[in-house]
Amino acid sequence: MKRMSMMVARLYAPAPVLVIGGWLASFAVEHADGLLGVHGARQAGSLLALLGTGLGFVWAMLASWRLYLWLRGMEQGRCHCGGLLSRPRRKGHGPAYRKCLACGEKVPLVAPPMPDAPSGT
């Protein structure tokens, strides 16, 4: 898989998982009539399906927005390969890093350099 394809797959992979999870939870709740009653189980099931579909849609829209910003060059950071970086992470007590969504490399999170203050003398 090419790097761009891998990055897009990593961005959009949770969206269908959320939709399928919502529909599976809906199916499970609708077939558990004894717990909530027939009417309550159908209402809860339809709400779970709607919630899963809505969350999947929102996730896909946010992924599209991040990809749009990355393509325009307005995203916060890029890996040396040109890939989009994930959110800042910290594993254990180690230094913070961001993971590249294209190549998978851990890019250290460093503070931006502070400009030197002009001296008053």
Whether the Cβ atoms of residue 95 and residue 108 lie closer than 8 Å to each other: yes
Question: Residue 35 has what pLDDT?
Answer: 67
What length does the chain have?
121
Q: What is the DSSP string of the chain?
A: --HHHHHHHHHHTHHHHHHHHHHHHHHHHHT-HHHHHHHHHHHHHHHHHHHHHHHHHHHHHHHHHHHHHHHHT-SS-B-TTSPBB---B--TTS--EEEBTTT-PEEE--PPPPPPPPP--
User: What residues are paired with 84 via a beta bridge?
Assistant: 78
Question: Residue 112 has what pLDDT?
Answer: 57
pLDDT along the chain (121 residues), means of 10: 83 93 88 72 86 95 91 82 84 83 84 61 57
Question: Residue 1 has what pLDDT?
Answer: 64
Question: Residue 57 has what pLDDT?
Answer: 96
- State pTM to two decimals: 0.73
**Residue 24: how many other CB atoms lie within 10 Å:** 13
Domain definitions of the chain by residue range? 1-75, 76-111
Question: Residue 121 has what pLDDT?
Answer: 57
